[in-house]
């Protein structure tokens, strides 16, 4: 199996995505910097008979950035926070990020320019925000104000106000602030669903504390899922944003806010051409809940899902690797009550075609708890529909599995044995086979001793003989549902 597939399985044991606090799921989607092959950089002419040559390209007019800045600059604010360094926590050495992950972590929220301080002292940091109501309601990122003892908002006319945090939601990374002021300038809120890849965008904020800085670019991609952020379908942009831009607005070409700048992809902590913004439609939904009830409820389907690759699609007899593959259904969840089970592939959520796991997570996240949704799923080689009443995040317990003579399976390269009663109870499963040794095709796919094999192509296995018979009916490959630690993931294993 490829190195990328092995990496996905390795990550599953440490970062997989229980559908509890993150909108019902999180999908095993990891963004990586890739190096293009030399051939990919060669420009190819369009042949005379190529249909693409006959398709006219609409001419886009460059936005009037000067007018957008003039209209909105006064509604963008600087945010300064003061936080007490935990007196009981360890003092951070040089080169270690106070947010964990170290300087080598490529995902840096913009707020990570916090200086080092001795334990028990005050740490001050800066971010951005924008005014959405003239009576002083401000939107920013939750991580900008997280743990802050004091929050100060500075307007473009240099007035400063102490801000009250009305509420914040770590899942979506949205916070709502309030200052005691009237007749303030406000931004115009747009519709993030209407943007498209290639659209012009403009960011205004305070990178590195440099007030009222504007940078421009385009929408590079939509619906991005980032590690740990399965709820938010991020807008990817190449507008230059840096530490201090966090919480600031991202405008479209008409001057309406369509996103909140939240994260960057970086090996250095600075701008490297890839930034991510929270869609304003998500932010407004969170803001409305906070303003109305003071808290936020997220929808939950109650499954763990993963994105299909071609090998998995072949194993489940799908024509293309589209959809979200269910690797776990939490007991007593919305999905369980609707009859979903591991091995189902969710192809549609209401009228939305599901391309990958991240798209499903975002679609569920935008639903209201208690609402009904129509699912189109692929099971046993045919399509079927299920109606589900969406639950509320926060329920559902994940099973655990521990490592634990055995039988050899030459075709797979696995040595397995049934789980004993205590192991089944500890793992929270009714059956399954624990891997004693992995070699050949199984080892190449990334399966390790201690993994628990739960099913083959969606068919549960409880005995060695059952596994042998299921594998014997396949010549090219199988999809094994593996449980490792707290996580489950389908692993395609090539047999020839």
The residues that are catalytic are 143, 173, 246
Q: Of 190, 202, 216, whose CA–CA distance to 282 is shortest? A: 190
Q: 300: which residues sit within 8 A by CB, 6+ positions away?
A: 19, 20, 23, 24, 25, 333, 334, 364, 369, 390, 391, 392, 393, 394, 395, 396
Task: Locate all alpha helices (DSSP H) within 299-383, ordered by sequence.
Answer: 310-315, 334-337, 357-365
- Antiparallel, parallel or unpaired: β 256-265 and 275-279: antiparallel
Q: 356: which residues sit within 8 A by CB, 6+ positions away?
A: 27, 29, 225, 307, 308, 322, 323, 324
Contact (Cβ atoms closer than 8 angstroms) between residue 258 and residue 250: yes
Contact (Cβ atoms closer than 8 angstroms) between residue 284 and residue 302: no
Q: Which two tokens stand for residue 191?
A: 């519709």
Q: How would DSSP label each residue in 53-67? A: GGSPPPPPPPP-HHH
Q: Which two tokens stand for residue 206?
A: 């305070």
Q: How would DSSP label each residue in 161-222? A: EE-EEEEEETTTTEEEEE-S--S---PEE--GGG--TT-EEEEEE-GGG-TTEEEEEEEEEE
Q: Of 260, 170, 264, whose CA–CA distance to 226 is shortest? A: 264
- Antiparallel, parallel or unpaired: β 200-205 and 160-162: unpaired
For residues 298 and 21, give the distance between their C-alpha atoms in angstroms, rounded to a whole number.
8
Contact (Cβ atoms closer than 8 angstroms) between residue 111 and residue 243: yes
For residues 274 and 192, give the distance between their C-alpha atoms in angstroms, rounded to a whole number.
18
List the Cα angle 111/117/122 in 5-degree steps: 75
For residues 419 and 408, give the distance between their C-alpha atoms in angstroms, rounded to a whole number.
16
Q: Which residues of 419-435 are buried (b: 16+ CB within 10 A; e: fewer)?
A: beeebbeebebebbbbb
Q: Is 147 left (phi over 0), alpha (psi -120 to 50) or beta?
A: left
Q: Is 273 left (phi over 0), alpha (psi -120 to 50) or beta?
A: left
Contact (Cβ atoms closer than 8 angstroms) between residue 21 and residue 30: no
């Amino acid at each position: 199996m490829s190195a990328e597939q092995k990496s996905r399985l390795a990550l599953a044991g440490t970062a997989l995505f229980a559908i509890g606090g993150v909108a019902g799921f999180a999908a095993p989607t990891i963004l990586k910097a890739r190096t293009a092959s030399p051939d990919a950089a060669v420009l190819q002419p369009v042949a005379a008979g190529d249909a693409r040559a006959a398709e006219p390209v609409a001419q886009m007019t460059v936005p009037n950035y000067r007018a957008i800045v003039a209209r909105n600059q006064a509604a963008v604010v600087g945010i300064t926070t003061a936080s007490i360094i935990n007196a009981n926590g360890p003092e951070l050495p040089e080169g270690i990020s106070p947010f964990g992950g170290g300087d080598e972590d490529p995902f840096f929220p913009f707020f990570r320019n916090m200086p080092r301080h001795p334990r028990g002292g005050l740490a001050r940091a800066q971010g951005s925000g924008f005014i959405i109501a003239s009576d002083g309601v401000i939107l920013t990122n939750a991580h900008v104000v997280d743990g802050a003892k004091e929050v100060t908002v500075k307007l473009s006319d240099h007035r400063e106000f102490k801000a009250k945090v009305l509420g914040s939601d770590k899942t979506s990374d949205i916070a709502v602030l309030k200052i005691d002021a009237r007749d303030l300038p406000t931004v115009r809120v747009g519709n993030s669903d209407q943007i498209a890849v290639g659209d012009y965008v403009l960011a205004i904020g305070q990178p590195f504390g440099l007030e009222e800085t504007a940078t421009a670019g385009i929408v590079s991609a939509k619906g991005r899922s980032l590690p740990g952020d399965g709820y938010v379908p991020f807008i990817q942009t190449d507008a230059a944003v840096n530490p201090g831009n966090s919480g600031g607005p991202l405008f479209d070409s008409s001057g309406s806010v369509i996103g909140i700048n939240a994260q960057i992809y970086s090996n250095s902590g600075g701008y490297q051409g890839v930034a991510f913004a929270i869609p304003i439609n998500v932010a407004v939904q969170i803001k409305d809940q906070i303003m109305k009830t003071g808290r936020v409820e997220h929808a939950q389907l109650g499954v763990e899902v993963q994105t299909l690759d071609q090998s998995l699609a072949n194993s489940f007899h799908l024509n293309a690797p589209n959809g979200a593959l269910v690797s776990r259904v939490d007991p007593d969840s919305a999905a369980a009550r609707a009859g979903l089970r591991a091995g189902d592939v969710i192809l549609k959520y209401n009228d939305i075609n599901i391309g990958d796991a991240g798209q499903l997570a975002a679609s569920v996240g935008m639903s209201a708890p208690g609402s009904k949704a129509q699912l189109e799923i692929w099971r046993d080689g045919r399509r079927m529909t299920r109606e589900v009443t969406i639950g509320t995040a926060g329920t559902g317990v994940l099973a655990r599995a521990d490592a634990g003579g055995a039988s050899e399976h030459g075709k797979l390269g696995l040595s397995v044995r049934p789980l004993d009663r205590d192991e089944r109870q500890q793992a929270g499963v009714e059956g399954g086979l624990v891997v004693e040794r992995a070699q050949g095709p199984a080892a190449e796919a990334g399966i390790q001793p201690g993994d628990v094999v739960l099913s083959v192509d969606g068919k549960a296995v409880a005995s060695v003989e059952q596994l042998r018979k299921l594998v014997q009916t396949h010549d090219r490959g199988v999809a094994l549902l593996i449980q490792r630690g707290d996580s489950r993931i389908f692993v395609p294993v090539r047999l020839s």
